[in-house]
Structure 1
Amino acid sequence: MAELFLSPLIQLLFDQLASGELLNFARRHVGLGEKLNKWKHTLEGIQAVLDDADGKQHDEKQSRAVKLWLDDLRDLAYDVEDILDEFATEALQRKLKGGDDDQASTSKLRKLIPTCCIGLTPSALKLNVSLVSKIEEISARFDEIVERKGRLKLEEAADRGRSNRRRGTLEPTSLMTDAYVFGREKDKEAILQVLLSEKRSDARDKVSVIPILGMGGIGKTTLAKLLFHDEKVQSFFELKAWACVSEDFNVVRVTKAVLKMVTTESCDDDDLNLLQVKLEKNLKGKKFLVVLDDLWNENYDDWTILRAPFLAGAPGSTIVITTRNERVSLTTRSIPEYHYRLEVLSKDACLSVFTQHALGASNFNAHPDLQESGEKIVERCKGLPLAAKTLGGLLRTKKDRNEWENVLKSKIWDIPEERSGIVPALMLSYHHLPPHLKRCFMYCSILPEDCEFKEQQLILLWMAEGLIQPPKEDTQMEDLGSEYFQDLLSRSFFQQSSTKKLRFVMHDLIKDLAQRIAGDICFRMEDEIRGGNRRRFPKKVRHSSYLGDAYDIAKS
């Protein structure tokens, strides 16, 4: 999994190497600028082959050598980050000692230091080792990494974005894939009340947008399908269309998909103008329902271009959007303050989903010997229907109790991706994060199990670990940390606690995702002690925690 966090880490190194403070510092030291520039070019060459390295990890002949190369590259990248931090600290100390000559720059640089550290004297931040020897050591390691890259025959990817897309998965269609849907009756009725409301016909916007929001695998598409095929919806709207937008936001492709469902006219043309004119003509004066499934793009200008032909519809026309990102919801919605946030299933509904796929029934009446194991498996799903469906599907041909026990003991992440929708669904959310948020999310793997936390608590931890980028001149680090937190919250990585208004939680599978990505980079000592283990502190750990039984992050 090294490639998953190497890309964001290397991107952040690029940002550091391009910072004005670092460049000014380097200019005052003979040869340092040339070294940093060489590091930058070397990193660019390495970044270009990461996708190929990721693919070759699964090649039996090369997997071990490539994994070792990625591990060593990760360690080197962290050490480069450390020495760049030392440069920044040294530059800051000199600025702070510079008196009033450069007060504006000094004020700006002070913001690089967390508020809790402002009282520290420059001597407290003094470097302990020679920067010169560190520079030489890192340069030598870069040379070795490049030499090994050549021996491994790693090549630049033709499509840099390939790793961010779902590989080998089919886009969902408007047809129902499940004969039975459990636990979504209230959700369906709540949206139908808005969808079929005649009052909306008098609204300023003739075409309304209703976003359905929730984490990956929670059932947004399934709910949209229930609405799409409802009998009341069939009679209320003159036209209906469905298009899967996905992470590749292609206005031509989506416009074509909608046009094909509302007209018999040929739409093989790739001219967006002609396509939109045709679509507008077919929608004009008609009340329609269009579902845009799996929307990721937050760009308002892109949205207005896609939406343009829909504005010709009659009052009451509606676009239903499914998305994981609240910012997409805010960009697209037309009804003030309205979006529908989908929550996890109840325990009973999740159990029914599982048994339907595992046993073809809504209960264990025909297989009472499997009930205990089955109920424990469902507990691990934590109300996520995709997890219940995936695990149920794995056991569909297995009726032996020991086989069910094996699934119960195994980790969801051990299921091959070709047999599981969970891993690709949750990993896709991670891939869509910008580099600085990927690191902050990965760090969350050290949080205790089932803990509830405050926003400010997590921000302070991020600040202490140096995970928050230096803020702009008019921004405090705490405010920037709050932006990070709210962004992860809006993308469904955090959820508001159901019991305490100002506290937040992570779904167990999202937490598992963070731990899977972090690997041995983050280490929770309390887990080892609680489990009776006393293994040595891993050598490659960068972030560690020991909160102990007496410490409760939710009460602090």
Structure 2
Amino acid sequence: MAAQHSVGGAFLSSVFQEIHRRLALTRYYRNYYDEEVAKKLEITLSSINEVLDDAETKQYQNPDVKKWLDDLQHEVYELEQLLDLISTDALQRKGTVQRFVSGFIKRSPYKVLLQRLQFLAGQKDILRLQKEATRDNHVWENLSTTRSLVDESSIYGRYHEKEEIIHFLVANSDNDNQVSIISILGLGGMGKTTLAQLVFNDHRMTEQFEIKAWADVSESFDLVGLTQSILWSFQSFQSHNEDFFFEQAFHNEDLEILQHQLQQCLTGKRYLLVLDDIWSKDGNMWEHLLLPFSRGSSRGKVIVTTRDKEVASIMGSTRLLHLKQLEESDSWSLFVKDAFLGRNVVEYPNLELIGKKIVEKCGGMPLALKTLGIILQTKLSQSEWVEILETDWWHLPKSNSNINSILRLSYLNLPSNVKRCFAYCSIFPKGYEFDKGELIKLWMADGLLKCWGRHNSEEELGNEFFNHLVSISFFQQSVMPTRAGKYYFIMHNIVNDLAKSVSGESRLRIEGDNVQDIPERTRH
């Protein structure tokens, strides 16, 4: 798959922090380079760091700025690699190796890197990059903590749609041998998954259905893996004496056996299945997937969420529900809940006026309204709200339409170290469920949790970063827990696209046997 060619500016600033710290340790490196070289590197990096926030904002409108950031990232990573080499050698203190390495480094790498970085520093004036106020990486007091799956009190304007779906699900089916499917259609960020969650967790569904399952489908999946996922989800509703049976089925990769086990699971039971975020238009594949549901007496219902009406037709949907934009009043209520965070709107008449203009530009899209509301939670000045209203992100070129421009605003407002941790998640395929503890360990292993001396441990910092990414909806808790009651996390497809975009060429995910077109600058 092709790599995304963008890179965050402030994303690099946390790398600069670590480089400055390591360059300051001249007592370890004095045998490798002159202190004068280290001083020049620090001065050059400091001058570049001053304009990174501005460059990050302008890169999507100005191709020259984007190229400048791409080149800068490459040179900075080269410097990091060189420092790693020196650190390893200095700690080993092997004289012969040290003389060889120090001689090699003094001959060219540091001087060449310094010259390239100085050249890039000189270009910032030509590109008209300006120094901006540095965002405070330590302000966390006003940020939300981890949220539950779905807080129904925070959902606006979907009551009638929810009731329509529930009415369909509890009604008797006329066709005993045909799977009854209702498809929720809508653009990305319109709230399809949230609506499906509201229905799935409604007490009437527990009363109506004996077993329930939720499967995230997304773009990249296979028939065996999806069938396993459905079985695994149904397992949480089975009695304890069936655990071994279902765990055996989950680890089986024979599709015929899996489907037989699934059919046995469903026989004689009223079931509800949600297939979330379907993209594939392969009719034969869906026909095979639904075989266990259509054999014998069908006593279950299926909810499908998709952006494509053709997908709903191929799935053989019994009912279509087109999810439309929120009404103006509901849009305002959703925005106010997050932006004012319990404060009385009447006390901020100037912000109320600007806020209504921002809401109008969101076009009734729940994800956009919520994202901007969260961004503005800690901004109480009129100038900050006007800046959001007048930003160029509302007018991005069509080539960027696949990535929600408003989510970029949320990303831009993250502290630089959190940006690096978020960009790391570009390694995950769409629909991938990840464990909180394991991801934090991956961040630690990649050196992304440094430069935060006020914390007791890197793990503590990682937990704080993770919770913040959950609070702004970049990470979402999975709908179904494991048998042990543990929840995993997932990224919305649009958020996954954003992570790929900001990670640049440095990270590339290879799927299957496709190893072609790997950019020269790919490092992970």
TM-score of the pair, normalised by structure 1 = 0.44
TM-score of the pair, normalised by structure 2 = 0.47
